[in-house]
Amino acid sequence: MLPCLRCCIALFASLAVSAGVSAAVVLQEDFEDGMLDPRISVSTVGTFLDAPGITSFSSIEGANAFGFGRSVNRFNSFHRYVTNLIIDLGSPTFVESLSFDEMEVFGNWGSRGEVYVDGVLLDPSPSFGRSPYNDFISDTTFRSHTFAINGLASILTIQVWDITDLSEIYIDRIAVAGGSVPGEVSLPSSALLAVPPLLFLVWQQRRKGRIVNVRGAGLLLLADA
């Protein structure tokens, strides 16, 4: 019986390991093909001098990036001049994190970025764009951000607001990680059928004094294997 018990042990150990597998990539966009992933859309508030969209920009990665645009306005733009890059995952999906690189060019006057999950600003509030906020100096290199989400989400919104005519934030290498819920494992039917015999074997081996320790999710150590 011991070999069967070993098989069950291996099954449980592999399931325990698979539960801890690092998150998969749900979405990646580097803008190099000139097209937005079909799950990405853009909305704006206000009128733009330089419309948001994919544009030739090689200071982050490759030849293209996404620019949030420059508005026709110079002062008090706030929420009257806004661009949203919207990632619609279609249904509630486990999202571990959202990451991207960004930099602010053409000077720095206005333009601040924030991330919303299903319409709610991430807490603590993340922000991106050059700091200090309005120092009139263009970035010479990009910043990398990874925002932890660790929950179910359908829509991720990367928003830049207070867009003036004197600066523009560019973004590249967007990645959404997640796709499965840590700790939840979908058992195949064969694994489910193995559970009752395993319980019996564990009971039997425990009676024989062979099981000396039980750790975590089903990882058993035997005294006499």
Exposed/middle/buried for residue 20 (C-beta within 10 Å: 0-12, 13-18, 19+):
exposed
R_g of the chain, CA atoms, integer Å: 25
Residue 139 binds Ca ion (CB under 5 A) = no
> Cα–Cα distance between 170 and 161 in angstroms, integer?
13
> Cα–Cα distance between 179 and 166 in angstroms, integer?
39
**What is each CA distance from 58 to 48, 55, 218, in whole angstroms?**
22, 9, 51
For residue 69, what are its two tokens?
A: 């645009």
Residue 128 binds Ca ion (CB under 5 A) = no
| 3-state SS, residue 205 | helix
What sections of 43-181 are H helices per DSSP? none
Q: Which is nearer to Ca ion, 12 or 142 (CB)?
A: 142
Considering CB under 5 A, how many residues would be counted as binding Ca ion? 12
Could you say which residues in the range 183-222 bind Ca ion, by CB under 5 A?
none
Residue 172 binds Ca ion (CB under 5 A) = yes
One of 61, 99, 151, 222 touching Ca ion (CB under 5 A):
61
Residue 159 binds Ca ion (CB under 5 A) = no
Residue 31 binds Ca ion (CB under 5 A) = yes
For residue 207, what are its two tokens?
A: 């009676």
Could you say which residues in the range 97-116 bind Ca ion, by CB under 5 A?
108, 111
Q: Which is nearer to Ca ion, 73 or 108 (CB)?
A: 108
One of 10, 33, 148, 199 touching Ca ion (CB under 5 A):
33
Binding residues vs Ca ion (CB under 5 A): 30-31, 33, 35, 61-62, 64, 108, 111, 129-130, 172
